Amino acid sequence: MIRPHGGVLINRIVDSQKKKEILDKLNYSVKILLNKRHISDIEMIAQGAFSPLKGFMCKKDYESVLKDMRLSSGIVWSLPITLDVNKEVANNIKEGEFVFLKDEDDFLVAALKVEEKFEYDKKKEAILVYRTDDEKHPGVARLYSQGEVYLGGEIFVLRLTEHKDFANYRFTPKQTREIFKTKNWRTVVGFQTRNPIHRAHEYIIKCALEVVDGVFIHPIVGETKQDDIPAEVRIKCYEVLIENYFPKDRVVLCVNPAYMRYAGPREAIFHAIVRKNYGCTHFIVGRDHAGVGNYYGPYDAQKIFYEFKPEELEITPLFFENTFYCMKCNGMASYKTCPHTDNDRIILSGTKVRKMLQDEEVPPVEFTRPEIANILIDYTKNKLT
C-alpha cells in the first residue's frame, strides 16, 4: 500500500493520561474560539489526512510553502495550514505556552502548544496561493477577513467534533486504508468533487476504473461557496449513481471534512496529497480542478504536477480533458478522442442547467442521469419556495 505523505500517518488525538495533563493547565491558559474552517483543519490534522503536519504551520514552514510549495524539510506541500487570531488575542499569548481551542458550543476541541506567533502579509499570500489579490475570489475574501497574526505549533486534540450527518460515510485515513486492504485493492483512484455528479464525471471515473482496482469517491462536505449545491443533495446524487451505474464492489464513498479553498493548481496538488494519505495510489485531475471564475487556465491544475518529480508525490495523477456526449460518436467522448465539432456535442453551461432545473425540465439523458436530475429539480424547487 502507498505510504502516507512523509512516511507516517499522523494521529494527534491524545490518550486519557495526556488529556488529563493538558486539562490541568486549563485555568491558566488563553481560550480561542474557532470557526468552522479551523475545526475542519483540526479534524484533518488529527486523523492524519494532512500528514505529515502535526499542527498549524510556524513561520519557516509557512514561508517555504508560499515560496516553494514545500515544507522547510523539503517535503512537497502546496497550501498554508494556519490558525489566525487578531492582534488583541495574540497580545495575550506567550510563545511556549498552551492555548485552548474551543468550538461555537464552548466545548474544548484541542490545545495548541504555541511555538511561534507571527504577523504575515495577506496580499503576498493571496497572490502566491490564489494567483490574484481580487477580493471577489472567495479564497482571497476569506483571507482578507481573518486575523492579522498566525499561531504556529503542534496540536493536541481532546475531542473531535461530533458529526450527525453522513455517519455511514465518515472514515479516517486509517480506516480507508484498512477498507482498501480488505478489498485487496492494490491501486485506488481518488475522485475529488464539490459538485453534483453528472455523465462527464461518470465517464471519467469509469475510464479510470479500467486501469485501477477501485475508486474512492471523496466529496467535500466542509464549507463551500454559498451558491454551491449543499452536501446532503450531492451525497444523494452519488448514492443514486453508485446504486444504479457502478459495480458496488469497486467503489467506496467517503465524505471529506475539508473545506474548499478554490486555490486552483495549488489545491489540486493539495487534494492529491490528502487522497494519498487516505490510501489512494492515483488521483483524477480534470478541467479547472478546484477553480472558480476565470482566475486559472483550464488545465493549469494539470500542468502544476510537472513541477514535481513523480517520486516526490508518489501518487499518480490521471489527467482528463473536458468530456461530453457526442451525437456523431454516439457516446461519451473528450477533445482527445472525438473529431467532431461542438455542434455535434451536448455541452450545457451551468447557467442553462440551472434554468432547466428551475423550470422543472429534466436535462437531456446524455448530460445527466434522470434520477440525479430529479434530485436536483426537487432541491431547486424547495429552495425557491
Cα(43)–Cα(47) distance, integer angstroms: 6
Alpha-carbon span 221 to 269, nearest angstrom: 19
Q: Look at the alpha carbons of 130, 133, 135, 140 in this order and tell me if their dihedral is positive or negative.
A: positive
- Name the catalytic one among 194, 234, 261, 266: 194
Q: What single-letter DSSP state applies at residue 149?
A: E
* Per-residue DSSP letter, 289: T
Burial (CB < 10 A; 0-12, 13-18, 19+), residue 118, is middle
Q: If we measure between CA atoms, which residue out of 94, 64, 91 comes closest to residue 80?
A: 64
Grid cell at residue 177: 486504508
Residues written for the chain: 385
Q: Which three cell numbers stand for residue 226?
A: 454559498
Instruction: Specify whether 194 is catalytic.
Output: yes
| Residues 222/257, Cβ–Cβ less than 8 Å | yes
Measured distance CA(252)–CA(236) in Å, rounded: 15
Say whether 277 is catalytic.
no
Q: Closest Cα to residue 216, out of 78, 291, 300, 318?
A: 318
Rounded to whole angstroms, the Cα distance separating 59 from 125 reads 13
In contact, 102 and 34? CB cutoff 8 Å: yes
Rounded Cα distance between 149 and 82, Å, is 10
Residues 292, 297, 302, 307: is their CA dihedral positive or negative? negative
- Of 195, 250, 322, 354, the catalytic one is 195
Catalytic residue ranges: 194-195
